[in-house]
Amino acid sequence: MSFKLIDTSPVRHKISILRSAATTTKVFRELAGELAQILCYEALRDAPLKLYEVTSPICATTGYALDENDYVFLPILRAGLGLVDGLLKFMPNARLGHIGLYRDEATLKPVKYYYKVPSEIENKHVFILDPMLATAGSALAAIEILREQGVKQISMICLFAAPEGVKKLEEQYPDVTVYAASLDERLNENGYIVPGCGDAGDRLWGTK
């Protein structure tokens, strides 16, 4: 697996605000979307482009275009939805799927309850979206489902990652690239990232 830590100064600034327990739901949502957008820019740094002719006020020249239809954003419900708005502002014509995986608090293992994706997903570059890469249970389950459908190009965008989760992904899916805004210290006894930001889903949607 290729783990890409995007820890530029603006990213560190925004991540620090997300960590704060004093940050409001509104600000948390806005910053999560902004960070997802930054990570996606990095993920597509060397993406293939199509050439076309564009005419400036001065003359005709060569233009370059991303084929947005080649990409699918797949948020893991529900927290992954918090990254979608920022990404669709960047690529409004990208396809959008949904996968419902919740963590059993006793076993810490994922349980699937919903899955809906665009047709011909096997030919797309799929970005799994989840603010937290903790135990990696949900990410591994999502990747397994996508592989069963024949998807070859899979990346993941997350805000906070734990070393334990990164290691598991690296061992099982070394060809999946993860883009993260922060690599934190560890997981605690309850499977939460330390220092992390608490439960990202609750903070995004104001449910606690």
- Smallest Cα–Cα separation from 172: which of 145, 140, 129? 140
pLDDT the model gives residue 190: 86
* Residue matched to tokens 């990232």: 193
Residue 130 known to be catalytic:
no
Given 19, 23, 85, 202, which residue is catalytic? 202
CA 119 to chain CA centroid, nearest Å: 21
Q: Which residues contact 19 (CB under 8 A, 6 or more apart)?
A: 195, 196, 197
For 64-109, how does the pLDDT look when each residue is reduced to its tens digit (9 = 90+)?
999 999 999 999 998 999 999 999 999 999 999 999 987 677 776 7
User: What is the C-alpha to C-alpha distance for residues 189 and 201, in angstroms, rounded to an integer?
Assistant: 19
1 has pLDDT over 70: no
For 147-201, how does the pLDDT look when each residue is reduced to its tens digit (9 = 90+)?
999 999 999 999 999 999 999 999 999 999 999 999 999 999 988 999 999 999 9
Q: Where are the domains of the chain?
A: 2-44+70-205
- Peptide bond preceding 78 in cis form (omega within 30 of 0): yes
For 179-194, how does the pLDDT look when each residue is reduced to its tens digit (9 = 90+)?
999 999 999 998 899 9
Residue 202 known to be catalytic:
yes
208 has pLDDT over 90: no
Fold of 2-44+70-205: Rossmann fold (3.40.50)
Residue 199 known to be catalytic:
yes
Given 61, 107, 130, 175, which residue is catalytic? 107
Given 19, 70, 147, 199, which residue is catalytic? 199
pLDDT the model gives residue 108: 65
Given 95, 103, 135, 184, which residue is catalytic? 103
For 50-69, how does the pLDDT look when each residue is reduced to its tens digit (9 = 90+)?
999 999 999 999 999 999 99
pTM score > 0.85 for this model?
yes
Find out whether 159 and 204 touch, Cβ atoms under 8 Å.
no
User: What is the C-alpha to C-alpha distance for residues 131 and 85, in angstroms, rounded to an integer?
Assistant: 13
pLDDT the model gives residue 167: 96
Mark 10-39 as b/e (b = at least 16 C-beta within 10 Å). Answer: ebeebbeebbeeebeeeebbbbbbbbbbbb
Find out whether 139 and 126 touch, Cβ atoms under 8 Å.
no
CA 94 to chain CA centroid, nearest Å: 14
Residue 46 known to be catalytic:
no
Q: What percent of the chain has pLDDT over 90?
A: 87
